[in-house]
Structure formats: structure tokens, C-alpha cells
Amino acid sequence: MKILFSEALTSIYKSIVLSVLIILIISGSVFLIGGTAGYYTNTQNVLDTFESVYNDDSTRMIVSTMPQRDIYMSREGIEKYFQTLVQLKAKYPEYIQLRYDRSSVTIQHFNGPDKLLYLYDEGTPVKNRNYPLNNLTDLNNVNSLTVSPEFLNIFHLGISEGKDFDGYSKQELTYSKDGVYPVILGHDFAEYYKIGDTFSVVTDPAIPIINVYKVIGFLREGCAILDTYEKSLKTDEGTEDSLIYLDNYMVLPALDYTPTMDLYPEKSKIGDFYYFMYRHYMYMLVVSSENPDKVVWNVNDFFWANGYSEIEGWNIMNIPRSLKIEIDDYFNLLLYCSVFIAATAVICISANISNKINRNLKKYAIHLLCGAKLSTVRAFAAVEVLLLLLISNIIAGVLLFLIGPKVFTFSLANLYNTTVSISWVSIAAMLALDLIVFLLSLAYPLWRINHAEYDTFLRGNE
Amino acid sequence: MMENIIELNDVHKYYGKGDGLVRALNGATLGIKEGEMCAVMGKSGSGKSTLLYVMAGLNKVDKGDYRFQDKPVNLKNPNALSRFRKDNIGLIVQNFALIEDQTVFYNVALPLKYKGLSRNKIQKRVMKVLEMLEIADKAKNYPGQLSGGQQQRVSIARALVKKAEVLLADEPTGSVDEATEDNIMALFRKINTELGKTIVIVTHDEKVGNLCDRIIRLSDGRVVNAG
């Protein structure tokens, strides 16, 4: 055994440049195959987690939109709509109803820079406006997400500092004239606001409802939701573009505004108030079902029966699935690269070992005449390849450990994250590659060793 | 009467195929007696070296029997041949067959490593043989640093160190000058008489042949005169 390693190490040392090159090639190949295999393992786990909430084939997020303004342009219309939602929930208790509105809110004396303000389509911020109607000045529009408290948990929107809306009672989230309500700010606001700060929010410039909000927490950096208003949800295209990053959003709890119908009776006669009411009572449904299309039909039928239309069901899984396809393509490319590099390594090793064997046949003949078995001579080549593979695997393993997570980590905001780590599948893939490289690169050299006429290398006339 | 230590019977060894087929041995039959020092002679291409390598167990044969110390040698089994070489044969060749990038000590010790001897035993045995051949001071030298005669002594030392019964030498004086040739032949005679080793020397040199007890002559792969 000692003589085998001695011979192999000597052989590697004698062709050190080529050996280092081969080691680097194999290391690269093993690194890629290990990372790719790790990815294939991890990505499935991540996707499984994602699907547990947004099941690929069984989840529909249904956003109700009701264009028939005449239906909700009255107190009766609004009350009928609320009642319809209650009936829908009663009929389908498994459906999760979430209040959800993404737009902007008007806040007074905004502390932050312009980049955190809501932008018009042309990209200009809405700032420093005055509303004579409410006698308010220095009003600035900020992106807002108004949601049911449980929305944060369902869409995995984590808090980096402070707390979320859990624990707030229905009473605390019901409108009252002097109420102070919690607000969670996106990550970018953390530089300008701190927990406990308060500010006034004009819920709608056209109606005299002004709320005071107190900062209770900040979202983690990179939190995002899928843009439910984008039609891209219906296709497999678009991933990043379909995300709404919440770093510059204020997340407001959806308040129960029904008391305002009595507090502001004179305003209740104008359409703006009802539009405000409607907007604050937009709903989305998160539904798990083995027959998602049927869910959409059921909801549609239900709303149609109650005089509403245009209920849409979108598969929100399209976006992460689309991203996964993109990442899969990327890793498939890495896999092909790995195989190509491995093939190169096989050719390099085979050529290198074969050359050495051709040079060393006389030496092998000497070993044979000294009593070595032919299998020992074969082992000289095999141990050399094994050593090259061993060194390469150690390097690849260290690289995977040190830089693998950076190279093979992909995330889609808070929705999708895959981090490669060395798993059993990685190790199995690396060993499989090693075995293939070992067998293929030794095939010709071993054949050469087996079929050499060793006496010809000892004869004086050779 | 001395017994044959080596017996070859109707041995055939071919190289190549078809039109290129070369019958290196074509029914060679001979016996080598224990303790004798004989020469195998013949023209170039007569098969004398092939015959020697068959006796050394380095060549498989296509046909024929080989008996060593009255026991059959399995000429078709590589592992059996390996054991046979390790235990019974010391081979010396014209170009010395030394590993150039290893020391004299390493070269001589190599057969003992394959025998699995301990480091101490290897050290003692190698140095004893080197002293006997008067090259102990060259133990740490590399073959390239030695003269032809010294290299041949290293080669002989390697053959002797494993205490093989038979030494086979292929043109052992082919690469040395005349004075060195005399020394080497004297050394072979000394090994033959003092250690009792059987020695077979392949040579085309009549002078070398005449220094042996017997000359076996080959032609076209057959023994034409057993001497």
C-alpha cells in the first residue's frame, strides 16, 4: 500500500502542472455538480413549502371587483355587498377572505425623502399638497397596503423590528373619531421613523376622515407580495416584474369603517364616500381546493346570483413557478457545464495517465520482475487517479462550504428562497461523478497495462 | 546426478498476428540443472531472450510446459507468475533495468518490499548484498551516477537480494567494456560456486559462453544443441 501511494505521489509530482490543471478542472466539475444537486434538493423543498400555502394546482386568489357603481353608490348597496361577503363566507367556510387594497395614503408632514413617496405614472412624487376642504397642508402620498391583520402571516411578510398586527382586538381596529391605529412600515422607512412615532393619515382627500397611526414595527428587507392587479399572474411570464416590494410601503390594518356611515351621515350621500367604503372593503380569497377552477366557478356563480360580476380567479403560483423554470434552466445549464467539464477532465486524466504509462512501462516491467503483480501495476494508475479525485473533492467540498451558499442561492423576495448546502444528494452526485471520471479515465490506461509485453521493455535491443 | 531445476517442454511463443506473426519460440525444449552456470546462445532473433523471459515468468506462452523444481509453473495465470518470479527468479538484463529516479538502495530493496519484509530486515539484507558486491558506498547514489559495471552490480544485487534459486541474465555484459565484462563474469562464477545459485546467461558473445559450464544453442526458436 505504501509503495502505491509513493508511486502515485511521485507521478503526480513529476507532472505537477498538468496535475494541478486536472485537479482544478475536476474541482470545478465536482463543485458544479454538488451545487446543482444541492439546488435540485433544496429547490424542491422550498417549492413544497411555497405550495403548502399557494398550492400550484389548487390555489386561486380571487380578487373581487365590482364595476357596477350603481350597486355600491348607496348605503344599501354597500350593506348588500357586505352581506353578500358574509353569505359567501358562510357558504364556503374553507375560503380565507382577506381585505386587501394596494394604493397610496396621504400623510401629513412626511419625514422621509422623495424616493419613499408614491409616484404618479410619469414618475413624479405626490408631495406638499394642500387640501382646503379639510384645511390640511403639507400632504404627501405614500405607497400603502391596507390588509387584514392575518395577511402578513399568510403571505410570509416578516417583521424585522417591533411586532405585527397579532393581538389587536376587533375593537382596536374599528374606526373611532379619536382612535390611534397601528402601522407597520417597510424596511426603507426605518431610517426616518422609529417605533412609537405617530403621524396623521388622510384616508381619502375627498372625505373628512383623518386617522392617527402609530408605528409598531418594520418589515424585513425584501418583503414582497405578488401584484394581484397584474395580468401577468395569468401567464407563465414575468417573475420579478410581478412583484411588489414593500420596502417603501406602509402596511395599514384594514379598519372597520362601518361606524363612519353614522358618523358622517351628510357625507354618506355622496359617491366619494361610498367609493372609499368600497375600496376599503375589497377582498381577496385565498382558497385551497383540489378543483381550483370549480372554486372560481362557485364564487362567480355566487356573485352573479347576487347581482355582481367580473369576479376573477388568478393562479398566484404562476410567478414562483415561472421563476423556478428560469432557475431550473440556469441550473440545467450548470449541470451541462459540469458534465462537459467532467468530460474534459476525463480526457485530460486519460491522456495524462496514458502518457505516463507509456513512459513508465519499463518501470512497471522492473516492478513486475521484482515480484509486483499486474494488479499492483494497475493500482499505480488507479491510486493516482484516486488521489487526484480526492484532492479535487476536498477542494470542491471546501468551495461548496465557503462560497456555495453565495453562488447557488436564489431568492424571489420573501416568496422564494433556495440556498444550496451540501446534502446527501450533493455527496451522492459528487461520488457518482467521481466514479464515472474514475472508470472512464482509467479505461484506456488499464487496457494498455494489461496488454503490454513487458519483456520488450527490458531487452537490451529495445 | 543433479536434477533439472528448470524444464521447458515444447514451448511456443508468438508475437503479432496473420502475416506479421513471429514465432519467437517454436517448440523449444531444454533442461537446466540445479547449480549449473550455462549460456544460451544463438543468432539475433533466434529466440534466446524470449526463452529467458519465459523462464523468468515474465512472458506468457502460447503453448508448452514449464516445470520449476519439478513443479509445473502456471504460465497462463498472471498472479501465479508473479508469485513465481517473486520467490524463485532473479533477473539481470543488459540495460540493467534500474529505476533511474530512485537510489541504488531503493532499487535493490524493491523485491524485498514486494516480499513484505520489515524495514529493518530490508536494510540488513540490502546492505549485506551491496557489501558482497562491493558497492555498499553507492547505496545512496542514483543509477545515473554509476558506471556501467557498477550499475550491472546493482542489477545483480537486486537479483540476489531476494535469495532466488535461479539467476537469469540477458546479455549481462552487452553494455560494458571488456575489463568490466571479465569482472562481471568472475562475479557470476563466484555467486555460482560460493552461493550455489543456478545461473543462465543469454549471450551472443562466445567468450562469455565459454566461461560457462555449458552452452545451449538456439535457432529459429528451437534448441538445436543442448551442450
- Which residues of chain A from 367 to 406 reach within 8 Å of chain B, CB to CB? 367-376
3-state secondary structure at position A137: strand
The pLDDT of residue A70 is 54
- As a whole-number percent, the residues of chain A with pLDDT over 90 amount to 12
Partner-chain residue, chosen from B82, B91, B97, that has the shortest CB–CB distance to A372: B82
B148 and B175 Cβ atoms separated by less than 8 Å: yes
For testing the chain B interface, which of A1, A2, A360, A369 should be mutated: the one with the most B CBs within 10 Å?
A369
The residue with greater pLDDT, B82 or A231, is: B82
> What cell was used for B49?
531472450
- Strand B198-202 with B166-170, pairing: parallel
The pLDDT of residue A414 is 67
The pLDDT of residue A239 is 53
The pLDDT of residue A184 is 96
The residue with greater pLDDT, A368 or A462, is: A368
The residue with greater pLDDT, B218 or A416, is: B218
Distance from CA of B8 to the nearest CA of A (A): 18
Q: What is the residue-averaged pLDDT of chain B?
A: 86
Confidence of residue B134 (pLDDT cuts 50, 70, 90): confident
Distance from CA of B194 to the nearest CA of A (A): 23
Measured between beta carbons, the chain B residues lying within 8 angstroms of A453 are 15, 59
Partner-chain residue, chosen from B78, B111, B174, that has the shortest CB–CB distance to A371: B111
Average pLDDT over residues B168-186: 82
Task: Give me the interface pTM, i.e. the ipTM.
Answer: 0.83
The pLDDT of residue A231 is 47
The residue with greater pLDDT, A244 or A315, is: A244
The radius of gyration of chain A's CA atoms, rounded to the nearest angstrom, is: 34
Mark yes or no for CB contact B91/A458 under 8 Å: yes
B15 touches chain A (CB under 8 A): yes
The pLDDT of residue A165 is 92
Mark yes or no for CB contact B58/A3 under 8 Å: no
Mark yes or no for CB contact A455/B86 under 8 Å: no
Mark yes or no for CB contact B93/A458 under 8 Å: yes
Closest residue by Cα to residue A380 from A393, A398, A361: A361
Q: Looking at A61-75, A117-131, A431-445, which range is the least confident one? A: A61-75
Question: What's the rounded Cα separation, in Å, for the pair A131 and B46?
Answer: 119
- Would the pLDDT of A191 be above 90? yes
Mark yes or no for CB contact A371/B82 under 8 Å: yes
Question: Residue A117 has what DSSP assignment?
Answer: B
- Which residues of chain A from 1 to 20 reach within 8 Å of chain B, CB to CB? 3, 10
The pLDDT of residue A232 is 42
Measured between beta carbons, the chain A residues lying within 8 angstroms of B170 are 458-460
Average pLDDT over residues A331-359: 80
The torsion of the CA quartet A177, A178, A182, A184, rounded to 10 degrees, works out to 80
The pLDDT of residue A186 is 94
What are B22's strand-pairing partners? B15
How far apart, in Å, are the Cα atoms of A360 and each of A85, A167, A177, A354, B71? 86, 79, 95, 9, 33
Average pLDDT over residues A288-310: 72
B226 and B33 Cβ atoms separated by less than 8 Å: no
B3 and B34 Cβ atoms separated by less than 8 Å: yes
Question: What's the rounded Cα separation, in Å, for the pair B180 and B153?
Answer: 10
DSSP for chain B, written as a single string: -PPEEEEEEEEEEEES-GGG-EEEEEEEEEEEETT-EEEEEESTTSSHHHHHHHHHT-S--SEEEEEETTEE--TT-HHHHHHHHHHHEEEEETTTT--TTS-HHHHHHHHHHHHT--HHHHHHHHHHHHHHTT-GGGTTS-GGGS-HHHHHHHHHHHHHHTT-SEEEEESTTTTS-HHHHHHHHHHHHHHHHHS--EEEEE-S-HHHHHTSSEEEEEETTEEEE--
Mark yes or no for CB contact B50/A455 under 8 Å: yes
Q: Where are the beta strands (DSSP E) in A207-296?
A: 210-219, 224-226, 243-245, 250-253, 283-288
Average pLDDT over residues B183-200: 87
3-state secondary structure at position A138: strand
- Would the pLDDT of A59 be above 60? no
Distance from CA of B53 to the nearest CA of A (A): 7
Partner-chain residue, chosen from A370, A373, A453, that has the shortest CB–CB distance to B110: A370
Question: Residue A220 has what DSSP assignment?
Answer: P
> pTM of the predicted model, to two decimals?
0.63
What are A101's strand-pairing partners? A146
- As a whole-number percent, the residues of chain B with pLDDT over 90 amount to 16
Mark yes or no for CB contact B95/A458 under 8 Å: yes
Question: What's the rounded Cα separation, in Å, for the pair B119 and B112?
Answer: 9
For residue B126, give every residue at least 6 positions away whose Cβ sits within 8 Å of its Cβ, in sequence order, or none.
B105, B108, B109, B112, B139, B157, B161
> What cell was used for A83?
352581506
Mark yes or no for CB contact A369/B56 under 8 Å: yes
For residue A284, give every residue at least 6 positions away whose Cβ sits within 8 Å of its Cβ, in sequence order, or none.
A61, A62, A63, A64, A97, A98, A100, A228
The residue with greater pLDDT, A183 or A6, is: A183
How far apart, in Å, are the Cα atoms of A416 and each of A61, A315, A333? 18, 16, 21
Q: Looking at A32-36, A82-86, A152-156, A307-311, which range is the least confident one? A: A307-311
The residue with greater pLDDT, A416 or A424, is: A424
The pLDDT of residue A118 is 87
The pLDDT of residue A269 is 58
The pLDDT of residue A348 is 80
The pLDDT of residue A56 is 45
A446 touches chain B (CB under 8 A): no
> What cell was used for B185?
563474469
> What cell was used for A220?
424585513
DSSP for B209-220, written as a single string: HHTSSEEEEEET
The residue with greater pLDDT, B165 or B77, is: B165
What are residue A168's phi and psi, to 5 degrees? -80, 135
Average pLDDT over residues A269-277: 68
The pLDDT of residue B48 is 86
A167 touches chain B (CB under 8 A): no
The pLDDT of residue A172 is 92
Question: What's the rounded Cα separation, in Å, for the pair A113 and A142?
Answer: 11
The pLDDT of residue A240 is 55
- The H or E element that residue A152 is part of is helix A151-154
What are B9's strand-pairing partners? B65
Confidence of residue A212 (pLDDT cuts 50, 70, 90): very high
For testing the chain B interface, which of A3, A458, A461 should be mutated: the one with the most B CBs within 10 Å?
A458
The pLDDT of residue A416 is 63
The residue with greater pLDDT, B114 or A122, is: B114
Confidence of residue A47 (pLDDT cuts 50, 70, 90): low
Average pLDDT over residues A68-95: 74
* Longest distance between any two alpha carbons in chain A, whole Å: 120
- Which residues of chain B from 83 to 122 reach within 8 Å of chain A, CB to CB? 85-87, 89, 91, 93-95, 97-99, 101, 110-111, 113-115
- Would the pLDDT of B5 be above 70? yes
The pLDDT of residue A253 is 93
DSSP for A56-104, written as a single string: TTTEEEEEE----HHHHSSHHHHHHHHHHHHHHHHH-TTSEEEEEEEEE
The pLDDT of residue B188 is 85
> What cell was used for A211?
386617522
Q: Looking at A86-100, A142-156, A411-425, B175-189, which range is the least confident one? A: A411-425
- Would the pLDDT of A106 be above 70? yes
Closest residue by Cα to residue A289 from A326, A328, A315: A315
CA quadruple A339, A343, A348, A354: dihedral positive or negative? positive
The pLDDT of residue A155 is 75
Q: Looking at A25-34, A258-267, A398-407, which range is the least confident one? A: A258-267
- Would the pLDDT of A66 be above 60? no
Distance from CA of A373 to the nearest CA of B (A): 5
Q: Residue A139's CB: how many other CB atoms inside 10 A?
A: 21
Confidence of residue A233 (pLDDT cuts 50, 70, 90): very low
Confidence of residue A58 (pLDDT cuts 50, 70, 90): very low
